[in-house]
Amino acid sequence: MYNVVLLPGDGIGPEVMAQAKKVLMAVSEKFGIAFNLKEALVGGASIDEMGVPLADETLELCMKSDAVLFGAVGGPKWDHLPMELRPERAILGLRKELDLFANLRPAFLIPSLAAKSPLKGEILSKGVDILVVRELTGGLYFGEPKGIKVRDDKRIAYDTLVYTEDQIRRVAEIGFRVAQNRKKKLCLVDKANVLESSRLWREVVSEVTKEFPDVELSYMYVDNCAMQLVANPGMFDVILTENTFGDILSDEAAAIIGSIGLMPSASLGDKKPYLYEPVHGSAPDIAGRG
Ligand code: IPM
Ligand code: MG
């Protein structure tokens, strides 16, 4: 018996979750796995009911579970709220509190969808099968200090991109391990020509690679990677990268296969529960249409 918490959230989240639930029940029947499903509010839906995007009870329920299935959060209704009260804090809070540091985001070409891809057939002809391994609990998203203040009568804003070597090592190990089960190619994507944090990523990853001699490691600057993803997506197997770069590149990778709406993702840590969610967002513009 597995305890699974369902967090449908906002926008198309509840519609997507209703279908996902059917799939889960079919899996349960076919493979004889019992799921104990509990549902809770999250994001804007939770703000409306309980005043906060992620209530303590909801977090506790998740912590005691085996897995969390997440829909999507956010929408124009809550856009005016201060940063700490926005629906997005819910997913960021879950990632941080559950210490889900490795986000696996695949983008593979489904042949019947190829015509939906914005790319030409010749570019897709080599196939697309990419796995973005995005670090999820560090970098600009959580770095301190961050804020807006006034200096000499002018507003200044700052965010901090910080990584410890341990944070880099643990996600790199996951990257190499998943690469071992694929085409054994791992590309570290960074901005090592400009950022100190990227230089540390290169140092640590070049240490970790010694434990995985069967995986071929390469390095690429993030701007070049954004270009190669549309010019030559077939060249990639596993892309390992920090939080913000991974956020951007995983959307790009999902879009080139024809629909961001079809790609799943898993957020893993050292121990359960892990969190599973679609790569897409709450898509308020198309919500409520089934
Ligand atoms: C994602 C989303 C989130 C992120 C938002 C909703 C905070 O864009 O999961 O990629 O930036 O990580
Ligand atoms: Mg994103």
pLDDT of the residue at 81: 95
Q: What is the pLDDT of residue 96?
A: 97
CATH number, residue 240: 3.40.718.10
Number of the ligand 1 atom closest to the C-alpha atom of 243: 12
Looking at the CA of residue 251, tell me the nearest atom of ligand 1. 10
Of all protein residues, the one whose alpha carbon is nearest to atom 4 of ligand 1 is 247
d(CA 147, CA 124): 43
Half-sphere exposure of 90 (CA within 13 A, CB side): 31
Domain holding 236, by residue range, is 101-262
Predicted pLDDT of residue 126:
87
Ion ligand 2: residues, Cβ under 5 Å: 247
Q: Is residue 238 located within the same domain as residue 129? A: yes
* Start-to-end C-alpha separation, the chain: 31
Q: Say what the pLDDT of residue 191 is.
A: 98
Contact of 198 with 191, CB cutoff 8 Å: yes
Q: How close is the Cα of 251 to the center of ligand 2, in Å?
A: 6
Number of domains in the chain: 2
Per-residue pLDDT of the chain (290 residues; tens, 9 = 90+): 999 999 999 999 999 999 999 999 999 999 999 999 999 999 999 999 999 999 999 999 999 999 999 999 999 999 999 988 999 999 999 999 999 999 999 999 998 888 999 999 999 988 999 999 999 999 999 999 999 999 999 999 999 999 999 999 999 999 999 999 999 999 999 999 999 999 999 999 999 999 999 999 999 999 999 999 999 999 999 999 999 999 999 999 999 998 888 889 999 999 999 999 998 899 999 999 98
Q: State the Rg of the chain over Cα.
A: 20
Assign 151 to helix, strand or coil.
strand
- Separation CA 12–CA 10 (nearest Å): 6
Q: Considering only CA atoms, which residue is closest to atom 10 of ligand 1? A: 247
Ligand 2 centroid–CA 19 distance in Å is: 22
Residue labelled with tokens 């369902």:
6
Same-domain pairing of 191 and 145: yes
- Which protein residue's CA is at the shortest distance from atom 12 of ligand 1? 247
From 73, 91, 277, the mutation candidate for ligand 1 (largest count of ligand atoms within 8 A of CB) is 91
Same domain, 146 and 185: yes
Residues 6+ apart with CB under 8 A from 29: none
Both 9 and 76 in a single domain?
Answer: yes
Is the domain of 255 the same as that of 159? Answer: yes
Query: What CATH number does the domain containing 84 carry?
Result: 3.40.50
Reported pTM: 0.95
Which of 88, 95, 249, 252, when mutated, tests ligand 1's pocket best, judged by the most ligand atoms within 8 Å of its CB? 88
Q: Are residues 252 and 125 in the same domain?
A: yes
pLDDT given for residue 111 in this prediction: 87
- Residue 190, token pair as written in the block: 């960074």
Q: Are residues 121 and 65 in the same domain?
A: no
Mutual orientation of helices 196-208 and 165-180 as an angle, nearest 10°?
A: 50
- Based on the fold, state whether residues 130 and 228 are members of the same structural domain: yes
Query: What span, in angstroms and rounded, lies between the C-alpha atoms of 131 and 119?
Result: 19
Cα–Cα distance list, 252 to 106, 119, 151, 216 (Å)? 11, 12, 37, 24
Q: Quick one: 278 and 180 in the same domain?
A: no
Q: Strand pairing partners for 3?
A: 36
> Does residue 173 share a domain with residue 121?
yes
Q: Does residue 132 share a domain with residue 96?
A: no
Give CA 13 to chain center in angstroms. Answer: 16
Q: Do 217 and 243 belong to one domain?
A: yes
Pocket test for ligand 1, best of 10, 84, 92, 265 (most atoms within 8 A of CB): 92
Evaluate the CA torsion angle 249, 250, 253, 254 in order and state its sign: negative
Identify the residue whose C-alpha is closest to ligand 1 atom 8. 247
Q: What are the catalytic residues? A: 141, 191, 223, 247, 251
